[in-house]
Structure formats: C-alpha cells, structure tokens
Amino acid sequence: MKNLPENILTQAELPVPGEGYSLYFSFETVTVEIAKKWLSENKKKQRPISEKTVIQYSNQVKKLIWSFANGESIKFDDEGLADGQHRLSSVVSSGQSCTYLVIRGLKSNQIESMDQGKKRNLTDIMKIYDVEPIKGISNSILASVLNGIYVSRFYASTNRPESKSLRVDSLRGSAPSPVELYRFLEANPSIIKRLAKLKDKDLTSIRNHAGLAPSLVGWFLADIIDEKIADDILLTMQDCVPQTEQGKKCPAFILFKHIQQAKANEVTIPKHLFPGMWLWTVDKMVRGASPLKLDIQQAHMPGQGHEGSAMLTKTLNDLRDVK
C-alpha cells in the first residue's frame, strides 16, 4: 500500500487460480483528465457510445446517487481499456471526479464475454424493495407511468418557445435511469397517493380500449389541473360512451374516437403523444369547446400554454428528484 499514486485509494492483488497471472483491484479517484486518457486507450475494441446512457450516468453523478461500491468496475486488459467507457464518459460529461473500482490484468481475449448480464430495470428494483402496486397497476405499468411523469416534468420545466416538437422524450437529459426513477418515486409519495385514486376504476377496460400506461400518464397530468374533467375523460375511456352533456361532441369522446380509429386502422399512437392528447382534451373541456377532431399543437404539451399550464408546471416542479 506504500507509495501509491495519489488517486489510488486502496489496492489488492489476487492470483487467478491455475492461470499463472494475477488481477489487480483498486478503488481510484478518476478525474476528468484521467477519464479522457483512459478513454483514448484501446478504442478499436469499444462499442459505440450511447449518449442516452452517458446522460443517465452523468445525472446520477450530479444527483449524488452514483454508487462505486456495488461491484461494477472499470476493466483493463493487456491492450488497454476493456470495459467502462460509459462510466468514464459520464465523468467527462458531468465534469465531476468519481471513485471507481478498477480491475487490471485481464486478458484481451476475454472482452467478448463481458457485459452479457441482463440489466436491472425499475420493475426489478421495485420488487427488491417490496413496492406495493396499486390495484390494477402492476409494477411494470407503474414503471412506465413513472417514466412518463418524469419526462413530462422535464418537458414542462423547459422553456422551448423555438421548438414545435410534440415529443416529451426528446430533450437531452430527459431519459431517467431505473435508479433515478426509483429514487424519484421514493422521494415523492404524492405520486402514489394520486395514482391510488384509480383503485376503483376498471383499468382492465381502459387497457383494452387504449394503452394503459400512457393513458394513466395523461390522466395524472389532467388530474392536477381538474379532477372532475380528468375523471370524465377516464370514464369515457372505461365505458366507451360520453360522460358529459355534450355527448358525442365532448372532447373526451373525440379523444376516445381518435384512439379507436387508430386501432381500427392498425396505427400505433406513440406513447409520447398521450400527454398532449389528454391536455388538449382538458383544454377544450375547460373552454366548453366542441371540436370536430383532435388536433394537438405544441401549446398542448405539458406546461406549454394550455389551460392550467402554470398549475401543472408548479406541481410537477414541486416533485423532488431524490430523497
């Protein structure tokens, strides 16, 4: 342990049984400069960088929810860097030094066997921590709904007057990792409390008539603005009939028919459009309008100028990132 470089915190050597060589394990502080140097090594064997993954890792670093003691490591073989380029890229992207477990001494012919394990998703994490699902909402549906709420919150808090995009999932930094989503859920029990209002709804019927998870994201946003209108829209989806005096001219029924027509034509409505479709419906119902068809614009997206936009943005911004 004597005379170790300043960035190496601890170090150990373990002989590989029956192989005649050793592996060297260390916990090291990796600065931006070190990360850049390591990333320059052995580029020919590295996979293409996923910008989405780098952003997710960088966000975890910035939010102080990155763990270095979970066994995940930066690996080097006899040709240079073998594994860990996304973690190193997150150091460069975030501009913050990180502590990593580093393994050296691997053989270059072993790289093809790395990263073969199944990644742990939010559903897996919630199962580990015994998160109780709401009646009719499985953990997988809850994970999808939570993701939709998270990216809608990001969209609502981002001023984008120059953009006409209707994609709530298109903004840099809006795609959360499973760890971020779990911490987001843990820090905001109000999300579960609001979703618990659905326990007496026929969610199976809604699943049959519209995508359940994206519909629940739309309902969640609508419920913040007007609980009665959100309930009327949901009941329209559930019962397949108008729930207001406007009858078939009701915007909620126009939304229902739009979804049904897409299904009849075997057209899949992207889930990122559902927040705007629901907020378009709320917008028209608050104004007492009787539109002929659904026509969402950028102003109908979360926090972008629709009825209740300020209330929605405030409520979403009041949600905490981590506990």
Task: List pLDDT tens digits, range 109-130.
Answer: 665 545 444 565 667 766 666 6
pLDDT at 316: 94
128-158 pLDDT, tens digit each: 666 666 777 887 888 889 889 988 988 888 7
Distance CA 6, CA 18 (A): 33
Distance CA 90, CA 54 (A): 5
Distance CA 230, CA 247 (A): 16
Distance CA 298, CA 292 (A): 19
52-71 pLDDT, tens digit each: 888 888 888 777 777 777 77
Residue 169 has pLDDT above 70, yes or no: no
Q: Which residue has the tokens 């209740």?
A: 308
Distance, C-alpha 243 to centroid of its chain = 33
190-218 pLDDT, tens digit each: 988 899 899 888 888 888 888 899 999 99
- Cα distances (angstroms) measured from residue 166 to each of 99, 274, 277, 296: 39, 10, 10, 9
pLDDT at 255: 96
pLDDT at 116: 44
